[in-house]
């Protein structure tokens, strides 16, 4: 019978930083990190090699493997406690900020650039005032930008450091958690092997959130609803958003729509970046990247409307998937539309897009009509937000602006956890995006550190 001190499920930032914390503080621990994807060098997406449509690999190399969803991400580290997750629900703001600084230093140690964007208080305060005059709230956030192209190297350096101290099992999927008489014992893998340990850290990310939800239901754990965020990715000439992106690399702006009083927010701004497709278990959604060494003429950002559904409805993920599927159904993938066409009640076509000032960086999006896909309420909210944004960055609400749909962010369920991120089962912790604790690289990493430190205390 194989026994460990700690088993960690998932080698995304949450699992990796939990492992790092454990090995740094106590070299003698028997720790294993179990990952259903591949090691970083073996992660390749067929789409990147050949211009083909998604072959729906059994495990998506873009989301699974060493580094998790973060490996090919844009690597924007949000250094403020009010961005990228919900850790302040569990721990006070000061502690979260101290932990963010700690984790950020580790990222720098492993190769993140030293430059931090958005640390000019005078310019930020000026922008905050302009935003508030126009009905927008600016959430100041400092950003360190690793860049998609550098993330892999950083992850390899971390791996090298913990290689001999943590046993890492790749292409091993955890099937279930073994509980006996209410006590945690170990895990069972899909290949039938069982491993036992004193502590378990569950860090399966968004990729594994459905699995985690099913396990939680089987074990009778309390689940709380999270919102679903639905919206579009907006692409404009980079110069249009420069008044914002020069001051704060990632302008986080919140707007409450006039008609519906819905929360609309900017998300994942990519100055000089490109729009990309994302394959989420059977559906194509849209996302964005920017590279440290490669620039386009455009800037893209998501506009997302957050909805908390009320009882009896409790399937926000299915709802979000349904809307994204509609876009796939009508456009055979992601749909792109000029804002002017949307406002004039007509679809975009290749020739209309070709005439526009903004040329799409996502070349295989289908010109179409998003009003057939996105519910009226969301579309109305997004149009109001574009008008508000236009007042602080003129040109955003131009007829040439491109809208890609659909961008959906699933935060699935939220697991009931203690302040130390322990589940209702003693010695079983849940961290990162999977249990709804975080939604970004930094807070997921911090959550791993929180669980690891609690375990070290108990050991």
Instruction: For the CB of residue 64, give the shortest distance to ligand FAD in the complex, in Å.
Output: 3
Place of tokens 């000026």: 126
Instruction: Output 78 or 307, the one with its CB closest to ligand FAD.
Output: 78
Among positions 199-238, residues that touch ligand FAD (CB under 6 A) are 203-208, 211
Among positions 412-441, residues that touch ligand FAD (CB under 6 A) are 432-434, 438-441
Instruction: For the CB of residue 290, give the shortest distance to ligand FAD in the complex, in Å.
Output: 9
Q: Are strands 402-410 and 228-237 parallel, antiparallel or unpaired?
A: antiparallel
Q: Check if the beta carbon of residue 286 is closer than 8 Å to that of residue 277.
A: yes
Q: How far is CA 152 from CA 71, 72, 446, in A?
A: 6, 7, 20
Using CB under 6 A as the binding rule, whether residue 14 contacts ligand FAD is answered as yes
Instruction: For the CB of residue 44, give the shortest distance to ligand FAD in the complex, in Å.
Output: 15
Query: Binding pattern to ligand FAD, positions 65-94, x when CB under 6 A?
Result: x--xxx--xxxx-x-----x----------
Separation CA 301–CA 268 (nearest Å):
6
Radius of gyration of the chain (CA): 22
Separation CA 431–CA 415 (nearest Å):
10
Instruction: For the CB of residue 380, give the shortest distance to ligand FAD in the complex, in Å.
Output: 28
Instruction: For the CB of residue 57, give the shortest distance to ligand FAD in the complex, in Å.
Output: 12
Instruction: Output 9 or 29, the one with its CB closest to ligand FAD.
Output: 9
Binding region for ligand FAD (CB under 6 A) out of 4-12, 327-335, 350-358, 399-407? 4-12
- The structure tokens listed for 320 are 């979000």
Q: Look at residues 188, 207, 205 and name the one whose alpha carbon lies nearest to residue 7.
A: 188
Instruction: Output 278 or 384, the one with its CB closest to ligand FAD.
Output: 278
Separation CA 365–CA 362 (nearest Å):
6
Tell me the sheet residues that pair with 267: 302
Q: What angle do CA 49, 211, 232 make, to 5 degrees?
A: 55
- The structure tokens listed for 253 are 């702006």
Using CB under 6 A as the binding rule, whether residue 35 contacts ligand FAD is answered as yes
Map residue 367 onto helix, strand or coil: strand
Site for ligand FAD (CB under 6 A): how many residues? 42
Binding region for ligand FAD (CB under 6 A) out of 34-42, 112-120, 132-140, 376-384? 34-42
* Interface residue list for ligand FAD (CB under 6 A): 9-15, 34-37, 64-65, 68-70, 73-76, 78, 84, 173-174, 203-208, 211, 278, 287, 432-434, 438-442, 444
């Amino acid at each position: 019978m194989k026994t460990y001190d700690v088993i960690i499920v998932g080698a995304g930032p949450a699992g990796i930083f939990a492992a790092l914390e454990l090995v740094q503080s106590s070299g003698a621990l028997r720790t294993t990190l179990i990952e259903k994807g591949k090691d970083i060098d073996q992660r390749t997406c067929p789409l990147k090699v050949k211009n083909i449509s998604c072959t729906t690999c059994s495990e998506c190399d873009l989301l699974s493997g060493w580094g998790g969803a973060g490996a090919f991400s844009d690597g924007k580290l949000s250094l403020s406690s009010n961005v990228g997750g919900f850790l302040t629900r569990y721990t006070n703001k000061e502690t979260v900020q101290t932990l963010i600084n700690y984790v950020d230093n580790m990222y720098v140690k492993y190769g993140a650039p030293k430059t931090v964007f958005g640390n000019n208080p005078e310019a930020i305060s000026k922008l905050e005032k302009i935003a508030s005059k126009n009905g927008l709230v600016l959430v100041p956030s400092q950003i360190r930008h690793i860049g998609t192209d550098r993330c892999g190297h950083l992850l390899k350096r971390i791996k090298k450091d913990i290689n001999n101290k943590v046993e890492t099992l790749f292409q091993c999927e955890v099937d279930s958690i073994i509980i006996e008489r209410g006590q945690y014992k170990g895990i069972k893998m899909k290949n039938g092997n069982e491993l036992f340990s004193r502590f378990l850290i569950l860090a399966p990310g968004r990729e594994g959130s459905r699995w985690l939800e099913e396990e939680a239901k089987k074990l009778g754990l309390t689940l709380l609803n999270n919102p679903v965020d639905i919206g579009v990715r907006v692409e404009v000439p980079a110069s249009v958003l420069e008044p914002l992106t020069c001051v704060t690399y990632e302008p986080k702006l919140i707007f409450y729509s006039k008609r519906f009083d819905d929360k609309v927010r900017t998300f994942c701004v990519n100055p000089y970046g490109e729009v990309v497709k994302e394959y989420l278990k059977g559906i194509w959604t849209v996302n964005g990247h920017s590279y440290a060494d490669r620039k386009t003429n455009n800037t893209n950002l998501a506009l997302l409307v957050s909805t908390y559904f009320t009882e009896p409805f409790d399937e926000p993920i299915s709802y979000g998937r349904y809307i994204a599927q509609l876009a796939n159904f009508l456009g055979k993938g992601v749909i792109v539309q000029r804002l002017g066409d949307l406002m004039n009640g007509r679809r975009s076509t290749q020739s209309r897009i070709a005439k526009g000032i903004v040329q799409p960086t996502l070349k295989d999006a289908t010109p179409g009509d998003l009003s057939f896909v996105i519910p009226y309420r969301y579309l109305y909210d997004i149009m109001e937000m574009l008008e508000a944004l236009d007042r602080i960055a003129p040109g955003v609400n131009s007829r040439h602006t491109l809208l890609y749909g659909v961008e959906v962010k699933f935060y699935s369920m939220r697991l009931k956890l203690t302040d130390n991120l322990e589940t209702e089962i003693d010695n079983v912790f849940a961290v990162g995006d999977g249990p709804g604790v975080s939604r970004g690289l930094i807070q997921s990493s911090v959550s791993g550190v929180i669980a690891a430190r609690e375990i070290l205390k108990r050991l």
